[in-house]
Amino acid sequence: MQRRILRQKNMITVTSGALITVGFLSLWAWSNVLVFEWALIIASILGVAPIAIQAYQALRVRVVSIDVLVTIAVLGAFLIRNFEESAIVTFLFLFGAFLEQRTLNKTRSAIKELTEMAPESALKQMEDGQFVEVDVEEVDVGDILLVKTGAKVPVDGRVLVGEASINEASITGESIPVAKGEGSPVFAGTILDNGTVQIVADRVGEDTTFGRIIELVEEAQDSKSEAERFIDRFSKYYTPAVLVLSFLVWLFSRHLELAITILVLGCPGALVIGVPVSNVAGIGNGARHGVLLKGSEVIGDFSRVDTMVFDKTGTLTVGNPSVAEKAYYGANHEQALAYLASVERESDHPLAKAVLEEIGDTEAYVVENTEVVKGGGIVATVDSHRVAVGNAALMERESVALSAEARADLARFEKNGNSLVLSAVDGELKIMMGVRDPIRPGVKEHLRRLRKLGVKNLVVLSGDNQGTVDVVSRELGLTEAYGHMLPEDKAAYIRRLIEEEGRIVAFVGDGVNDSPSLALAQIGIAMGGGTDVAIETSDVVLINSDFSRLPHALGLTKATARNMRQNILIAVGVVAVLLVSLIFSDWMNMSIGMLVHEGSILAVILNGMRLLRYKLPE
């Protein structure tokens, strides 16, 4: 029965609110006192039921919670036939809990989704040399596995035979696939874009990098157990104090109505609704401005953040490589571009896609005698010409001479953090393109606003090479920048900031690889266009990956935290004045006390509603 009542708390709240509305309408519109009283009596009984159950459960573990005080106050209001107060107090208490619970919608589904993304099967080499599909649990260290185009790498290991391009976004977060050859390391959960390789298993099951991601998320979520609400902490002292005060008044005065009045006036209606209304108004403002805040605890922690750590790809950058710089050499550029486009159409590499997008529509030629050069690029015959497309190492292999101008361009492109695509025709360099993941528009200004809001340290962590990360850091004026970071490296860095340096850390990311850091940081902020796992693991979501919403989110949480403190001060202050006046003055009575009591509830609601109009100052 208790579980059934608690499961129906939301329905009870709605019913109680409807009965209160009916009661007051019947009194004001038709002066029907009977309907008014019975509607409030039924609303009080319904409303107090789940509160009384929670009070009983708290007392069983020797905790005098605010539920205990509310229950006693409602019973006292019944004794003195003040049904309005008993009904309104129970409704406000239940409605406040409903509003807060509605926003606390973080779930454990992140673990489930991560598990579903993990490889389930593998092509394992048997004793007769044939490859047979088996469950990934049947793979042991030292087994030889076959991975084909489009398949997930089932374990951590090394390439034995073959060459391939592997998308490691699930591990490093980087969108550009990595070329793999004999001896190259591979990671479970990554996807083979093209090629076929045989690998030897080095780490399997939970020991793989992907398995460690799942484990890190579990550990981080466990370490972030839900803190007690401020009201519950406050009630440890407040509730017993009001109970003792009421008992002492009755003991010395034998004035039962006065003692019950103390309980009724001492019931913190404004305190009950004040914090939730601030939270809900702040959360509502955030939702209208593209920011999803997952609960009151998030608001409190976020408002005190002093260090913000960013993933690079898809967070500070767009996450879609494009040609940022280009240079042409010699004559016949249009012809050279057509040759380059013809060769790049043969590739699924993201750099090729960026180059084709830059070139656009052009004449297509038949590509023959294609040779893929490991770690270099492609050499092919196009329109009877030998065309080489790749990096500087391929140009050297093809004996392509680079002029002083070309060498200067190459150095400049690399310094700017570009991945290079060079194209030579018959041994003569014709085209140089620099491809990079562009920084999101306006990010530099948004970071400046974060500093103005009190964020002292801005850090970028990335699986990309250190040179590229340094370029981004210099351009944006970040405090620190670290490249070559695997998920466990990022998580270890976050843990060190929190445990050793005592910082309050927010981590901003968008990928599966970011989920451990998102869960471990005091505040995890996910770009809304990122993976479902990152969004579920996070505390804050920027809808549509709009980075400009981040300063608004921080400013809003600071304003909401201030608003909560103001409401708490109003609620506690009014109750203190009421109780002191009731005991030590003659002018305070139940009617005046009720008027002030309800006025304080209205005051905290109106104060909280101010947050709906909040805008971050320019």
List, as one string, the DSSP characters of 48-97: HHHHHHHHHHHHHTT---HHHHHHHHHHHHHHTT-HHHHHHHHHHHHHHH
Q: Evaluate whether 526 touches 542 at the Cβ level (below 8 Å).
A: yes
Residues 6+ apart with CB under 8 A from 404: none
- Work out the pLDDT band at 329, boundaries 50, 70, 90: very high
Distances in whole angstroms, Cα of residue 366 to Cα of each of 276, 343, 361, 372, 478: 67, 9, 16, 17, 47
Residues 6+ apart with CB under 8 A from 453: 551, 554, 555, 558
Q: Is 435 helix (H, G, I), strand (E, B) or coil?
A: strand
- Work out the pLDDT band at 106, boundaries 50, 70, 90: very low
Q: Evaluate whether 269 touches 88 at the Cβ level (below 8 Å).
A: yes
- Work out the pLDDT band at 215, boundaries 50, 70, 90: low
- Higher pLDDT among residues 212 and 40, named by residue: 40
pLDDT > 90 in the chain, percent: 35
List, in sequence order, every residue forming a beta bridge with 201; answer none if it has no partner. 157
- State the sign of the Cα–Cα–Cα–Cα dihedral 544, 218, 463, 160: negative
Each residue's pLDDT tens digit, 254-294:
777 677 777 767 766 677 667 777 877 887 788 778 787 87
Q: Is 188 helix (H, G, I), strand (E, B) or coil?
A: coil
**Average confidence score pLDDT of the chain:** 83
Q: Which CATH class is domain 322-436?
A: alpha beta
Q: Evaluate whether 566 touches 282 at the Cβ level (below 8 Å).
A: no
Nearest to 260 by CA among 593, 595, 603: 593
Q: Is 514 a catalytic residue?
A: no
Per-residue pLDDT, 4: 85
Whether pLDDT at 490 is above 60: yes
| Superfamily, domain 268-313+454-618 | HAD superfamily/HAD-like (3.40.50.1000)
- Work out the pLDDT band at 103, boundaries 50, 70, 90: very low
The third-level CATH classification (topology) of the domain covering 113-220 is 2.70.150
Q: Tell me what the mean pLDDT of segment 70-96 comes to.
A: 78
- Higher pLDDT among residues 238 and 589, named by residue: 238
- Work out the pLDDT band at 63, boundaries 50, 70, 90: confident
Q: Tell me what the mean pLDDT of segment 310-335 comes to.
A: 87
Domain boundaries of the chain, sorted by first residue: 113-220, 268-313+454-618, 322-436
Show the tokens assigned to 194. Answer: 């093209």
Whether pLDDT at 91 is above 90: no
Per-residue pLDDT, 467: 77
Q: DSSP string of 498-541?
A: HHTS---EEEEE-SGGGHHHHHHSSEEEEETTS-HHHHHH-SEE
Each residue's pLDDT tens digit, 123-164:
999 999 999 999 999 999 999 999 998 899 999 999 999 988
Whether pLDDT at 335 is above 90: yes
Of all helices (H) and strands (E), which one includes residue 234? helix 230-253
Per-residue pLDDT, 427: 92
Whether pLDDT at 110 is above 50: no
- Work out the pLDDT band at 379, boundaries 50, 70, 90: very high
Q: Tell me what the mean pLDDT of segment 583-606 comes to.
A: 72
Q: Long-range contact list for 247-255, CB < 8 A, 24+ apart?
A: 249/583
Sheet of 322-328: strand order equals 322-328, 428-436, 419-425, 385-390, 377-382, 367-373
Answering whether pTM is above 0.75, one says no
Residue in 67, 143, 301, 311 annotated catalytic: 311
508 phi and psi, to 5 degrees? -115, 120
- Work out the pLDDT band at 382, boundaries 50, 70, 90: very high
Lowest mean pLDDT among 91-95, 167-171, 243-247, 388-392: 167-171
